[in-house]
Each structure stands twice: as C-alpha cells, then as structure tokens.
Amino acid sequence: MLLNASKSLVNSTSTRFDLKTSQLAIALYFLLFAFPAAFSQATPSDSTLTSNPAFINHCAKCHGKNAEGRRFRGPSLISGKVSATSDDELRNIISNGKVHMPKYKNKLTSDEIDSLVQQIKAVNKK
C-alpha cells in the first residue's frame, strides 16, 4: 500500500517533469525561430521615409524618390497640407486610399503603414 503510493508519486512527478521539458522546448523554439523572424521583418525605426523599402517599392513611383511629388498626380509628401494632417488621417489615406491614391491595407502590414506615417511626419519636421 505504502509502496504503491510512493510509486504513483514518482510517476506523477515524472509526468510533471516531462510536461515542463516540453513547455521549455516550445519556449526555446519561439525564442530561436519565431522572434528573429519577427525582428528581421520589422522596419528599422531609424530609417527615413526615402530609404524605407516600402516607400521605394510602393510610393516613390507617384510621390517621387525624394517624396517631393512626381507623376500620376502624386502630390509632394513634404507640404504644409501633409504636416497639418493628423497621424490617424495619414494612416487612413495610406490604408484606404483617396481619389487617385491607391489603398495599401492589403499590401502592407499595419506596422509598415505606421512606420510610413511616422516617417512622413519626420520628413515634414525638417
């Protein structure tokens, strides 16, 4: 009777141990694989609008490589109008488009759109 009880105690501690190791393995997996992937995708916060790959690939063709406007009726992004536009409104224009401005909510992540908003703001403060 006593022997059985201690046996089942050993059994239950060893299952608990297994559970802990597998939880540790899952945690390690996330640390090693999931996090570096997330970091490498994020836009470095110190990059400027015109060096941001999202801007170069998606926006420069209309707003110009230097963001000062170019073709397809793309206005300069460095203007009194843009600097007077709130972050929310800029995010809304980029996400949902506006007249001839295409929408980007399906093409860019919300993090990428947020970086663009911050960088547009930054370029207007100079």
Q: What is the DSSP string of 53-110?
A: HHIIIIIHHHH-TTSS--STTPPPSSSHHHHTS-HHHHHHHHHH-BTTBPP-TTTS-H
DSSP 8-state secondary structure symbol assigned to residue 18: H
Q: Which is nearer to ligand HEC, 7 or 61 (CB)?
A: 61
Told to check if 94 binds ligand HEC by CB under 6 A, we report yes
Told to check if 84 binds ligand HEC by CB under 6 A, we report no
- For ligand HEC (CB under 6 A), the number of binding residues is 24
Residues that bind ligand HEC (CB under 6 A): 58-59, 61-63, 72-75, 77, 79, 81-82, 90, 93-94, 98-102, 104, 116, 120
